[in-house]
Structure 1
Amino acid sequence: MNRKALALLAALALVLTGCASNDADQKAGDRITIFAAASLQGVFDDLAEQFTAAAPEYSVAPIVYDGSQALATQIVEGADVDVVAFANEASLQPVTAKGITGTGAIFATNTLQIAVAPGNPKHIVGLADLAKPGVATVLCAPQVPCGTASRTLLDSARVTVKPVSEETNVTSVVTRVKQGEADAGLVYKTDVAAAGDALTGITPAGADAVVNRYPIAVTKNAEAPKAAQAFVDFVLSDAGRKVLERYGFGLP
C-alpha cells in the first residue's frame, strides 16, 4: 500500500475515533445517575420509566437505593451522582454543607404505620403494644430518617420499645416483618401499600403529626446537569405528582 493510501486510512481512523468519542460524550451527558432513599424504590423506578418514555433523548442509570444517611455519606466522600432524593431534609444537610447541592425542593411527604403480618396474629392495635413482652419489634436505626421519625412518634406517645434489631434502611425493616423474623415494625405507609397482601398496616395515634418531607436536588457538579434538571422537573410536574400519589405519598 502506498504512502498516500496509508495517510488516507490514518486520517479516516482519526475521524471515526473522534466521532465515537463525541457519541460517547453525548451519551454520558444524557445519562442520569440518581441516589434515592430506600422508601422511594417502587415509585422512582416508575418515574424513571415514564420520564425516559416522555424524553427518550435521556436515560437513567440503575438507581442506587439505600438509607438516606448512607447515601449522604457516599456522596460527601466523592460518589458521582446527578440527582439526590432523600427521605427527610436533615439527611441532605451534610451534602448541602459541603456545597454539593443546594437545599433542593420538597416533592413528597410520608408518615408511619405499624407493619404486621396478615391477620395481625399478635393483635397489635397501637404503639403501646410494641413494648409488650412477647412482641418482637424491629425499627430503623436512629440516624436513618424512618428511625428518627419512629423515635419522635414513640417519644410523643411515651412508649419505650426495645427493638430486636435496628436496620439501616426501611426496606430491611419491611423484609424482616414479611419473613416472620419480627412481629411488627415501624415503616412508612407507602411501604405497607407496596407490600400488598404480604403486610397489614396499622396507623397509630399521632402518626399524622410526624411527617417526613422528601427533598430532591441536582448536584452542582452533575455530569448530566441538563438531563438531571429535566428529571427533577418531571418529578415536580403534574404527571410526576400523580405517580407519587398513586404510590401513597403525600404532596407538599
Structure 2
Amino acid sequence: MTRSARRTRRTLQVAGAGTAALLALSACSSSDDSSSASSKANASSSSSASASTKPSGTVTVFAAASLQESFTALGKEFEKAHPGTEVTFSFGGSDTLAASITGGAPADVFAAASPKTMATVTDKKDAVGTPVTFVRNQLEIATPPGNPDKVTSLKDLTKSGLKVVLCDKTAPCGAAAQKALDAAKLKLTPVSYEQDVKSALTKVELKEADAAVVYKTDVHAAGEKVAGVEFPESADAVNDYPIALLKNAPNAVTAKAFIALVRSAEGQKVLSAAGFLKP
C-alpha cells in the first residue's frame, strides 16, 4: 500500500469515529429531553390532581330548619378556611327538602332532622353511601317570655283555651311531638300545624300562640324572645340527625369537605354550643 493510500485510510477511520461519537451524543441528548418532558408531564399531572381535590366554588346544602344558626356559623368558618368557596343553604322542613331532592333539585349535601326523612332520599338512591348521624336533638316547650300561662308540663298544654301550635306531623319535630304525647298518654288538638320548627316558634314569638313544642336548640337560639319548659317525655322522642353527600352533587369535592367540618371536633363544638346532643 502506498503512503498516499495509508493516509486516506487513516482519514476515513478518524471521520468514522467522529460520526459515531456525534450519533452517541445525539442519542443521549434525545433521551435527556424525553426524560425531562416526562418529568414535566408528571409534575403537571400531579398539580392538576392536587387542584381537583382542593375545595373550591359553591357548595349547596339542604338542611333542617333547626340547623339554621349553627350551620350558618359553620358555613362562614368553612369559607374562611377555604378562600374562594361559597356555602349556600336552603333551610326548611326535612320532609319538604327531601321531596325537593328526589324531585331533582340541585344540591350537594342533605342534613335531615330524622332518619325517616333521610330515608326518603336514600330509598330513591339519591345519596352516596350510608348517611351518618352527626348530632341529636330533644324537644322543649316554648312559651312567651315570663311563661304567662304558667306551663310546667306537657299535660298543661291540654288546658282549655290555651293556644298551642305543633309542627306538621310529616315534619320530624311534629312526629317527635306526637311520640312524646303518646308516651304521656295525652291528646292535644293544636290551633295550627306549622310547616317546620321555625314557623312554630315564630307563632310564639309574635304572641299568636301561647306555647309550641319545638327543639331545645330553637329555644336556645331565640334567646329572650321565648321561655323554655323542659318535660320528661322528651326523652322518649330524641331525634337523630343524619347527613349525606348527594348522588348528583354538582360539587362533590367541596361537599365532602363541608361534611368533614360538620363531623370534626371543631364542628361538633359549634353544634354543642347551640344545644345539640352528641350522636
- TM-score with structure 1 length normalisation? 0.87
- The equivalent residue for 2:187 is 160
**Residue correspondence of structure 1 range 38-117 to structure 2 within 5 A:** 38-61=65-88, 63-101=89-127, 102-117=129-144
Measure the CA separation in 1 of the matches of 2:137 and 2:186: 21
For 2:105, give the aligned amino acid.
Answer: A
Deviation at 1:30, TM superposition (A): 2.4
Stretches of structure 1 that go unaligned for 5 or more consecutive residues are 1-27
In structure 2, distance between residues paired with 1:93 and 1:176: 30
- Alignment counterpart, residue 158 of structure 2, candidates 115, 131, 134: 131
Output the CA distance in 2 between the equivalents of 1:236 and 1:166: 32
Decide whether the 8 Å contact of 1:173 with 1:187 is kept in 2: yes
| Counterpart position of 2:199 | 172
Residue 247 (structure 1) aligns with: 274
1:120, CA displacement in angstroms?
Answer: 0.7
Please state how far the C-alpha of 1:209 moved relative to its aligned partner.
2.7
1:136-215 correspondence runs (5 A): 136-215=163-242
Structure 1 counterpart of 2:261, one-letter code: F
Residue 247 of structure 1, CA deviation: 0.6
SS in 2 for 1:235: helix
Aligned equivalent of 1:121, options 145, 148, 154 = 148
Q: Distance in 2 between matches of 1:204 and 1:151?
A: 14
Q: CA deviation at 1:60?
A: 1.1
1:220 CA displacement = 1.4
1:219-234 alignment to 2 at 5 Å? 219-234=246-261
Structure number with greater Rg is 2
**What is the deviation of 1:51?**
1.0
Listed as ranges, the gaps of 5+ residues in structure 2 are 1-54
CA separation in 2, counterparts of 1:233 and 1:29? 15
Q: 1:33 offset after TM fit, Å? A: 0.7
**For residues 192 and 126 of structure 2, what CA distance do their matches in structure 1 show?**
33
Q: TM-score under structure 2 normalisation?
A: 0.79
Structure 1 CA distance for aligned equivalents of residues 209 and 247 of structure 2: 42
Distance 1:110 1:33 in 2: 23
Deviation at 1:207, TM superposition (A): 1.3
Instruction: Say which SS state the counterpart of residue 188 (structure 2) adopts.
Output: coil
In 2, Cα distance between equivalents of 1:222 and 1:119: 46
RMSD: 1.7
